[in-house]
Amino acid sequence: MTNKILIVDDEPLIVKGLKYSLEQSGYETDCAYNGEEALEKFASSRFDVLLLDVMLPGISGTEVCHEIRRRSTVPIIMLTAKSADEDKINGLEEGADDYLTKPFNIAELKVRIKNLLKRSEGNVIRQPAEIRVKDLVIDREKRTITVAGKAIEATAKEFDILLLLVTNPGKVFRREDLLEEIWKDYAGDIRTVDVHIRRLRQKLERDQEHPEYIFTKWGVGYYFA
C-alpha cells in the first residue's frame, strides 16, 4: 500500500516542490495551505506522515500539531524557518516526532520520513507480543499502551522509547544512547530526549514526583525500574 503524506505550508512553491519530489519517490500526497484546511483534510482522509510548517496563517502549525496529537499518533515532522531552540522544543512539546529547519535537504527529509514510517509500522521485535508491568500493558504488535486499563495515546517515538526501556529493565540509557537508538542519525538538539521522556511520564505516571516506571539516574540518563 502506498504511503500518503499531507504537506502543510502556506508557500505554494515549497508545497509544489515537495509534492513533486515525494511523488517521484513513490509517495501519494495531498496539500493544505493553512491550519484550518490541514485539520479538515486530516479529519476526512488517512495519512501516514504529516509535513507541517510552524508558521501558518490563522491556526499555527504548533496548534495544528496539538489538535492532531489529541486524536492520532500519526508521525509529524515540523518544518520551520526559525532556528531558535525554543520554537523546536515547542513543536516537540506538542507531540511532533521530528523537525527540519528551512532550507533543508530533500534527501534528508526523505530519510527521516522513511525512518518514521518504519517505526510507526511496527518494525520492532515482536515476541512476546504483550508486555505487562504492574498496571502497564504494552502490545508490540498493535503498538498500543494502556495503564490501569486506560488507553494511552503515544507518538511513534514515545512508544519506541518506552519499549526500549521496558525491554532493558534496569539499564541506564544516556540521552546520547537514546538519540542513537531511536533517532538514528539525528543531529538535532539532545533535549529532544528530555521532552519525550517528560511527555511519557505525564501520560504514564500517577505521581511524577514518585514515578513507578521511568526513573532518572541523575547526571547519567534514564531507565525502567
**Residue range(s) in the chain whose domain bears CATH number 1.10.10.10:** 130-224
State what percent of residues in the chain have pLDDT above 70.
Answer: 91
Residue 24 has pLDDT above 50, yes or no: yes
Q: Which helix (H) or strand (E) holds 78?
A: strand 76-80
Burial 31-58 (b: 16+ CB within 10 A, else e): bbbbbebbbebbeeeebbbbbbbbbbee
Segment 16-33 shows an average pLDDT of 96
Give the percent of the chain with pLDDT over 90. 55
Q: Tell me which of 73 and 166 has the higher pLDDT.
A: 166
Predicted confidence band of residue 123 (pLDDT cuts 50, 70, 90): very low
pLDDT band at residue 125 under the 50/70/90 scheme: very low
The pLDDT of 214-225, averaged and rounded, is 92
- The whole-number pLDDT of residue 72 equals 81
Q: Across all residues in the chain, what is the average pLDDT?
A: 87
- pLDDT tens digit string along 83-110? 656 666 776 777 888 888 888 899 999 9
Report d(CA 15, CA 31) in Å as an integer. 7
Q: Return d(Cα 76, Cα 19) in angstroms, integer.
A: 16
- For 48-59, the pLDDT digits (tens) are 999 999 989 999
Domain range 130-224, its CATH number among 3.40.50.620, 1.10.10.10, 3.10.129.10, 3.30.2130.30: 1.10.10.10
How distant is the alpha carbon of residue 5 from its chain centre? Answer: 15
Range 4-120 has CATH code 3.30.560.10: no
Q: 3-class SS at 132?
A: strand
CA proximity to 193, closest of 224, 221, 170, 167: 221
Distance, in Å, from the CA atom of 64 to the CA atom of 56, rounded to the nearest integer, reads 9
Q: Identify the residue whose cell numbers are 521511568.
A: 214
- Which three cell numbers mark 167? 525491554
For the whole prediction, is pTM greater than 0.85?
A: no
Rounded to an integer, what is the distance from CA 186 to the centroid of its chain? 13
Q: Delimit the CATH 3.40.50.2300 region(s) of the chain.
A: 4-120
DSSP string, the chain: ---EEEEE-S-HHHHHHHHHHHHHTT-EEEEESSHHHHHHHHHHS--SEEEEESS-SSS-HHHHHHHHHTT----EEEEES---HHHHHHHHHTT-SEEEESS--HHHHHHHHHHHHHHHTT-S--SSSEEEETTEEEETTTTEEEETTEEE---HHHHHHHHHHHTSTTPPEEHHHHIIIIITT--S-THHHHHHHHHHHHHH-S-TTS-SSEEEETTTEEEE-
CB 89 within 8 A of CB 65: no
Q: At 81, is the pLDDT very low, low, confident or very high (cuts 50, 70, 90)?
A: confident
3-state secondary structure of 20: helix
